[in-house]
Each structure stands twice: as structure tokens, then as C-alpha cells.
Structure 1
Amino acid sequence: MDTSAPPLTGDDTPLPPRVARSLRSCLEEATDEIVQEVHRAVPEYARSVDSLHDRTMRWMIRQTLRHFADTAGRADPAWDGLAEVYAAVGGFEARNDRGLHGLQTAVWVAGQVVGRRLIRHAPGAGWSLDTLEQVTEALFRYLEKITSATAQGYAAAQDGVLRERELARRRLRDLLVADPPGSREAIAGLAAEAGWEVPETITVAAVRPPAARTPSLPPDVLADWTRPIPYVVLPGDGDPDPEVAAALRRCRVAIGPTVPPARGALSLRWAAQALTLMDRGVIRARRPVRCLDHLPTLATALCADLLEAAFGTRLEPLTRLPEQRRRPLIETLLAYIQNGDNAVATAERLQVHEQTIRYRVRQLAQLLGDALADADRRTEIALLLHAWLHFHDRPPGAPDGHLDPR
């Protein structure tokens, strides 16, 4: 911080001793008037007379007035001590999330009070116009020095506050997706440090940003762009507001389930799984994908090796068919089971003729036998067919035919 003494006059010449002594007498009784004017101009500074805030303000005003009078009469004024005081006051405002406007308004209001007193004092003190101009110029240069010290202290503290807040945001972000989860008390404590209001629920979205840059998000969204699968923590149900949606419009996004704040790890786990499947083309979508809209695919991905082992015993007749015959039968059987054995609904879903559906179902009955009549086996078959269609276009046993959940 620049704590050099302020120039006192235009040519840096101190005021004559007689004028400096007269200046001290002029300022001795100015404190009460300054306090009254500051209270009127800056309402948040209007505190009771016995309050710590009011006592501190009066002490600072008295010290400043004395320092100004002493400075005006010396060729080598000491400034460091008072500069540090005003820098500390600026820092206090920053750490309490207040701007500098109130503090600097108070400084200039004090300067106006002193200026009026100088004008009233000048004739009785025998000051010439040149002397009054010299004192007034010294006053305004002194006020500039004070406001500069407050601004430097404010900026330094604000940088520290921002660094501390950003660190708290990162720790909070990590805690929200921690497994095992953090306690509600720990989350609330970090949220207070980060200036983040804890919502009733959160939703974690896994994000694949463009290679060129990471999106700029609003303050209530916590993000980690350093992970192999980056993610953002969205307050609420994960329905991005227009600002967030615009920031993520060029990203591939998978939105996990909505959970309480302490269960973010669950939401992140499923969001990351869905994004991996989007990367592989298993889940195809241009807009953000919600995990809860793809439950069968996500569940299948977690047990792909088991399903692969089941193909050979449960659907062995289908594995022996050539691709051009096998795929239409698989698609038909899955749609037929999902539509409650309704050939008309299946035909509408697959956009083929109803008689085509009935013909394929008869073929499937011949291939799979009694399995289609067994309710438990039909559930297994539906799961296997879903895995087959979504994770591979060839069955196990064919060249390169396998499921890969990774």
C-alpha cells in the first residue's frame, strides 16, 4: 500500500505555523457536527451514542482532524498509521459484504463540514483568500488520500474474501457429492462460508463441455470442471433456468435424479453413467438427458456381463439367426411385450402392418417355445432384448459380439 504523506499544498509547502495553530483551534469542536451530518447522509452509520460503532467513529474523526491539523503544519508528515487505520476500515466493509459508497460518502461529508468551518473561521483568524485557498486545497488532497487508503484496504480484503469464498464453494461442492455423505451441519456451515443458500433438494448433472472453454454459470450453481467427468450441482429439481440452459447449450448433459443435499453422490453417480452412455452413442439425444427417463438402459448397463452370460441359454435360438432376420424379430418381441401382447399397438409403434407383427410373433413362439408363456421368463426376455438392442447390434458369440458397460 502507498502510505507516503499527502502533499499539503500545490507546491508541497507546509502551512505557516500561525495558520496551522489556527487550523487546530478551528477543528477542535468539529466532531459532533461531523457525526450529525454523517448520520443524515449515511443512515446505516446512525447508531446510538453509546454503541461501539458510534464511539469508534468519533474516535476516528478526532484522530483524523488532529492528524490533518498536524500534517498541514509539517514538512515531513507521518501518514502510515492513519493510512493503515483507514485501510482496515475499508477492509472491514469488504468482509461484511458492504460497498465503499457509504464509507466514502461519510469521508466527503466530513470534508464538507470542515470546509464550511474553514470558511467561517477564516475572517476571524485573519486569513487571506490565498491562505484559505491553500488550506482548502490541503484538505481536499487529504480527503483524496483517505479515500485512496480505504479503497486499497477494501480491494485487498475483497480479494481475500473472494478467495476464501471460492475455496469454501469448492469444499462445499465436494462435500455435496461425497460418499459417505457429509452431515447437514457440515453442509450448512460450508454453505454459510460460501454464501450459498442450501436448497431442500439438489440435482447433479454430468457435463461434457466443448474442448475450447468451460461454461460460465451463475453463482448458485457449483461446478467442477477438473474431473474426468465434469459435473455441476443445480439447486432444486435440475430443471435448468434460462441462464444455465444457455450456458450449457453447447455441452452434452446428463441430469441425475433429484436428491436431498446430502445425497449428491447418488445423483452424480447416475448422471456420470448416463453421460458415459451418451458418449458411446447408447443413449442418443441432442438435448439434456434425464436419468429417470432411461432407467432400463442404465440398469442394464450395470449388469451387462450377467446379461451377456444369459444370452446363450435364454435366447440361444435367436443368436443362430442371421442379422437381417434376427433384428426385426428382437424389435418386434420387445415392443410386443411392452405393449401387453397387443399386436395393433405394436404395429403402430414399429410402423409395420398388423399382420406382419402376428406373423413374427408366431415365428418367435416356434423359436422360444414355452418361454413366452411364462411371466417370469418374459420379464427376463424383455430385459435381455433391451440390452441387446441398446448395447450391441450383434449377439454374444458372433465376431466382436459382446456387451461393454464401460
Structure 2
Amino acid sequence: MSISGDVGSGPDAFRIDGQVLRALRDGLPAVAAQTLLAVMAEVPGYRVGFRGPMGESIQAAVQMAIGGFLKLASGTREGDPSTPRRTTLDGAYALGRGEARAGRSMDALLAAYRVGARVSWRGLARNAAEAGLPASAMAEFAELLFAYIDELSAASVAGYNDELNTSGRVRERYRERLGQRLLAGGTADVLTAAAERAEWTPPTTLTAVLLPAAQVHGVLALLGAETLLVSEELPGADSWAVDQPHALLLVPEVDGGGRQHLIRVLDRRQAVVGPARPWLAVRASYDRAVRTLALVAAAEPELVHPVDSEDHLVDLVVGADGEALADLRARVLEPLAELAEATRERLAETLLCWLLHQGRREEVAEALHVHAQTVRYRMQQVRELYGDRLLDERFVRELVVALVPQR
């Protein structure tokens, strides 16, 4: 990417004559070396990195930058007069991208420019004065130099930010793909390799959170950079009974108190939280969240608060296979089938309450708001209909499941 622009009022406003220019060019290597040493001494991030071959490359870059300034200040009109500045700006832009890739901060780079501007000005000003540059011209010389350095630093900042944005987008794509791979399943080796490509450290557990796509970004900022976002190709999304597109967050390490914190973060959002699962098995958390979403969407279409799937375990278990439940109810309640509907409902209600209270007649009567003798009479009818099957633990368990009211 090429960076271009005007420095101050440009070369038309200031000229260096040939004698001064030759002196400045002759002193250029020494000024560049002094500038490099000052940056190494005053900017901690560069003390080690500029030694050896890299130091030689940077020194050459400093010489090129100052040389570009001298061409600008000389008003050279050979060929395209913008070429020296364009080449130097491209170099500054590339330097910014390289610093971002090296993991150094923008603060270090800007500090290097500040130190470099001060030291190079000191050397150039001394050489210019010795070569006869009038004192009256020094202010304009300084203004042009510092405007030039500002332009170089702006080019480096642009390169730095572009590299971060580019690498950030690449990393986001890799992490989106990682989330999709986790849902699709795969071997530990394949998924670990995908995590490495995404620069993502696998946690012990992941928790699936489904929420409307429009609410995602406000939540992401609160959950941390290691949360994975899957906004496309969610398995089974076409069959969900919801009227808006949803996205999936895979949140690391949501255990114990962390789960309550997550629920608080999701306050006033239409989110559904699955269980924490080992990161390689997060599909199970996603599936639980999907089933819970379907459950609550049917019962509460205008949902305006987060839902914890842990609060709906019984409903999820009982409603996991609707046809199987219907078959179970038909089979275990068959002895009541020939009774009048009102009688059938009263006996079924009494039987469930009797089983839940383990046959304690007074508690059953209190729960049903009837007399204990009424309970005794109803249970006598039930025993006549069911016989010894009420002594079979497996059958009793089936009765409880079949008799629990369905939402």
C-alpha cells in the first residue's frame, strides 16, 4: 500500500543550496548511526532487536529516510519529484506492519520516531550550520524536518493498524471455522490443529450460548477475547421455531460461580445457556441449548431474559421424544381408559400425588385439598384397576413420568 501526501508547504517554500546539501549527505551515515544508537538506548523495546543484521537493516532504513528528506529539502526535480517521498513513505508503512507482526506496541514505535526526530535534527542542524546554512533559515529547516517525520510516523501508524486489522480478520475467520468444526465433530488432533491455526488456547470446558444475532456484539465485549463466535452454518438452524436469526457463543470456563456471572452478563437478552462440557464435546452443550430454545420459545414467545438450560432438565428429559411419551402414557394409563373423563382425571391426579408423597395419606389430602377419606376411597379404586403392578418399581417409575403434567 502506498502512502503519499504533502509535507508542510512543500519544497517550493524551502531550498538547501548545493554546498550545504553535500555536507548533509556526507554526514548522513554518522547521523543515521547516532539516531539508531539513541533509539536503542531510550526505547526499551528496541534495545535487543536492533543488534546484528537487523540493526544494519534498520540503520540503512534510517539513512534512506533522512536521505529522502534531503532530496525533498533540495527541491530536486529530476523525474517525478514525489518519488523519493513515496518510496520512503512506503518503507515507513512496511515498518509499521512489521512492528505489528513482531508484537511490539504502537507506543514503542512512536517513541522511536520522537527520539529519532530529535537526534537526527541535532546532527543535521549541526552539519548544516557548519556548512553555512544561515541561522534565519534554521527554523524553516526544522519545520520541514519535523513535518516530514510526522508524515513518516503517520505512514507507520497506518501500516501498523492495517496489519492488526488484517491479522485480526484472518484470526476471526479461523476462529469462526474452529467453532464450526467443534460443532461438526472431529478427532482431537484435527481440532487441536484448528485451534493452533486460530491462535486459540483450548480451555477445559466450553459452554454454548444461543442468542439473537443482533445482540451478539454487545455481549462479546463483556465475555473476553477467547469466546468463540459462530454466526453462520449453525446445525439445524432452519428448523428452529424462532422468528429471528441466532448466533452461537462458545464461552470458556463457565463453571460454578462463573455460570451465574454469565447469566448476569446476559441480563435482558434473549439468550439460552447450555451446560458446560469438555471443549472437544461442546456439541452436546449446543444441542442442549437448541432443545431448550425450542422448549421456551413454545412456552414463552416474548422471552426477554436469559434462560439457563439447567433449570429445565426435567422438561427436557420428559419432552425429549414426544411420541415415546405419548405411547408410554397410553400404555401405563390403559387401566383408566374406560372410565368417564372426570373420574379418570381425578384418579390420575390422586395416583400421582400418592406416589410423590410415598403413600402418606394426610399429605396427599392436604395437597389435593380433599378429605383423607376421599383419598382412601380413590386409591382403593386405583388398586382395583392396577393390582400388583403398583408394587413394581419400574412400573411405578413409568407412572410418575407419564402422569407428570406436560407444558
Q: Do both share a fold (TM > 0.5)?
A: yes
Q: Distance in 2 between matches of 1:294 and 1:58?
A: 67
For residues 48-87 of structure 1, the aligned pairs below 5 Å read 50-73=51-74, 74-75=76-77, 76-77=81-82, 78-87=84-93
Q: Distance in 1 between matches of 2:25 and 2:341?
A: 102
8 Å CA contact 2:347–2:382 kept in 1: the answer is yes
Which of residues 157, 160, 175 is equivalent to 2:181?
175
- Per the TM alignment, residue 273 of structure 1 is displaced from its structure 2 partner at its CA by 0.9
Matched, 1:306 2:324: yes
Quote the residue 2:202 is aligned against.
198
**Contact 1:177/1:262 (CA < 8 Å) preserved in 2?**
no
Deviation at residue 331 of structure 1 after TM alignment: 4.1
What is the deviation of 1:276?
0.8
Q: How many aligned positions are there?
A: 384
Which residue identity lines up with residue 197 of structure 1 in the other structure?
A: T
Higher mean C-alpha displacement, 369-378 vs 165-174? 369-378
State the alpha-carbon separation in 1 of the partners of residues 210 and 338 from structure 2. Answer: 39
SS of corresponding position for 2:273:
strand
Kept in 1: contact 2:274–2:288 (CA 8 A): yes
Instruction: Give the counterpart letter for 1:38 in structure 2.
Output: V
Residues 76-113 of structure 1 show CA distances to partners (whole Å, capped at 9, x for unaligned) of: 25222222221111112233444322112111211100
Distance in 2, Cα, partners of 1:359 & 1:287: 46
Deviation string 1:343-366 (CA, Å, 9 cap, x unpaired) is 456567x47468265554344334
The 1:113/1:276 distance shift into structure 2, 3 A limit, reads: same
**Matched residue, 2:253:** 236
> In the alignment, which residue of structure 1 is the partner of 2:293?
275
Q: Which residue identity lines up with residue 28 of structure 1 in the other structure?
A: P
The structure-2 alpha-carbon separation of the partners of 1:323 and 1:160, relative to structure 1 and needing over 3 Å to count, comes to farther
- The structure 1 residue matched to 2:279, chosen from 261, 270, 281, is 261
Please name the residue that 2:398 is paired with: 380
Change (3 A) 1:292 1:250: closer
Distance 1:80 1:375, change over 3 A: same
Q: Where does 1:101-180 land on structure 2 (aligned, <5 Å)?
A: 101-178=107-184
| One-letter code aligned to 1:390 | Q
Task: For residue 57 of structure 1, report the CA deviation from its aligned partner.
Answer: 1.9
SS at match of 2:16: coil
CA RMSD of aligned residues (A): 3.3
TM-score, normalising length from structure 1?
0.81
Question: How far 1:283 sits from its partner (Å)?
Answer: 12
Confirm or deny: 8 A CA contact 1:9 1:135 kept in the other structure: no
State which drifts further: 120-129 or 278-287: 278-287
Write the distance in 1 (CA, Å) between the matches of 2:183 and 2:15. 64
Contact 2:23 2:128 in 1 (8 A): no
Greater Cα offset, 122-131 or 267-276: 122-131
Separation in 1, partners of 2:375, 2:15: 104
**Matched residue type, 2:62:** I
Give 1:236's aligned amino acid. Answer: E
Q: Which moved more, 1:146-155 or 1:276-285?
A: 276-285
Alignment partners' CA distance in 2, 1:345 and 1:198: 52
Residues 319 and 325 in structure 2, CA contact (< 8 A), matched pair in contact too? no
Q: What do the CA deviations read for 1:101-135 (whole angstroms, capped 9, x no partner)? A: 21121112111001222343344222212221222
Provide closer, same or farther for how the CA distance between residues 327 and 278 of structure 1 changes in structure 2, counting only shifts above 3 A.
farther
Q: CA deviation at 1:298?
A: 1.9
Deviates more, 1:126-135 or 1:234-243: 234-243
Equivalent-residue separation in structure 2 for 1:331 and 1:156 (angstroms): 69
Q: Contact between 1:8 and 1:142, CA under 8 Å: does it hold in 2?
A: no
- Supply the AA of the counterpart residue of 2:202: V
Q: 1:298 to 1:316 in 2, by over 3 A?
A: same
In 2, Cα distance between equivalents of 1:371 and 1:319: 16
Q: Superposed, which structure 2 residues align to 1:308-387 within 5 Å? A: 308-319=326-337, 325-327=343-345, 329-343=347-361, 350=367, 352=369, 355=372, 357-358=375-376, 360-386=378-404
Q: In structure 1, the residue corresponding to 2:30 is in which secondary structure?
A: coil
Q: For residue 138 of structure 1, what is the amino acid of its counterpart?
A: L
Structure 2 match to 1:403: none
1:316 Cα deviation from its structure 2 partner? 2.4
Determine the C-alpha separation between the residues in 2 that align with 1:278 and 1:81: 62
TM-score, normalised relative to structure 2? 0.81
Match for residue 31 of structure 2? 30
Residues 91, 153 of structure 1: 8 Å contact kept: yes
Match of 2:269 in 1: 251
Q: Distance in 2 between matches of 1:162 and 1:320?
A: 69
Identity across the alignment (%): 26
In terms of fraction of residues, the more helix-rich structure is 2
**Larger deviation, residues 281-290 vs 190-199:** 281-290
CA contact (8 A) 1:221 1:234 kept: yes
